[in-house]
Amino acid sequence: MRATPAAAVAVIPKREVLRWPLLVGLLLLAHSVGAEELAGRVVSIQDGDTLTVLVSQKQIKVRLTDIDAPERKQPFSTRSTKSLADLCAGKDARIAEQGKDRYGRTLGRVFCTSVDANAEQVRRGMAWVSERYAPRGSPLYAVQAEARAAKRGLWQDSKPVSPWEWRAAKRGERGG
């Protein structure tokens, strides 16, 4: 497990917290420059990090990049799914596409009515920053540290288990 940089756990003055969504959105948008952009309407939410968007009369399943939401039957799974639904269900969305995953889903940063859904899920404590996929210098780590310090969402739990650890434990239970 990677150590959290000391700067990421600093207490942020309230007036500065209000600037975080704009700053994070701009930084993450800059990270996405050069990616193909899709636009459509969100027609369904599968879980806290996956949704389906209708683009030119074609449904495209999108996995939000750099985050990992609780799995089904894991604590906070239902709340994480509801949070993403509140952000995006039935709304226009822009997706900065970043390729496909092994299941054929489009990977991307999703903006629903100009809100960066990836960052907002982390800010609300409804998803972890994916240690495996998020770049080391991603501003999402600071957003996660702030959510953790504020004990929002899954950070209310005294020992939250990340989805990757939860999946590994479940594989171990099945013997594979």
CB atoms within 10 A of CB 155: 18
Helix orientation angle between 140-149 and 20-32, rounded to the nearest 10 degrees = 150
Return the pLDDT at 36. Answer: 87
Q: Which listed residue (2, 16, 79, 105) is catalytic? A: 105
Whether 176 maps to a domain, the answer reads no
Whether 51 maps to a domain, the answer reads yes
Q: Is 165 among the catalytic positions? A: no
Whether 164 maps to a domain, the answer reads yes
Whether 88 maps to a domain, the answer reads yes
Using CA atoms, how far apart are residues 31 and 48, in angstroms rounded to an integer? 22
Whether 3 maps to a domain, the answer reads no
Q: Which listed residue (16, 19, 37, 63) is catalytic? A: 63
In percent, the amount of the chain with pLDDT more than 90 equals 76
Asked if the model's pLDDT at residue 15 lies above 90, the reply is no
Whether the model clears a pTM of 0.75, i.e. scores above it, the answer is: yes
Q: Is 71 among the catalytic positions? A: yes
Whether 133 maps to a domain, the answer reads yes
Return the pLDDT at 7. Answer: 41
DSSP annotation of 174 reads H
Query: Are the C-beta atoms of residues 71 and 167 closer than 8 Å to each other?
Result: yes
Structure confidence by residue, pLDDT tens digits, 19-51: 555 555 555 554 444 568 999 999 999 999 999
For residue 130, the enclosing domain spans: 12-171
Q: Within the chain, what is the greatest distance between any pair of CA atoms?
A: 50
Per-residue burial over 6-30, b if 16 or more Cβ lie within 10 Å, else e, is eebeeebeeeeeeebeeebbebbee
Structure confidence by residue, pLDDT tens digits, 84-107: 999 999 999 999 999 999 999 999
CA dist 25 → 16, 31, 102, 116 (Å): 15, 10, 27, 6
Whether 1 maps to a domain, the answer reads no
Those residues whose C-beta lies under 8 Å from the C-beta of residue 68, and which sit 6 or more positions away, are: 49, 127, 128, 129, 130, 162, 163, 164
> What are the strands, taking DSSP E only, across 22-64?
37-47, 50-55, 58-64
Whether 120 maps to a domain, the answer reads yes
Total count of domains within the chain: 1
Amino acid sitting at position 128: W
Q: What CATH number is given to the structural domain containing 31?
A: 2.40.50.90
Alpha helices in the chain (DSSP H): 14-17, 20-32, 77-88, 117-123, 140-149, 163-174
Q: Is 102 among the catalytic positions? A: no
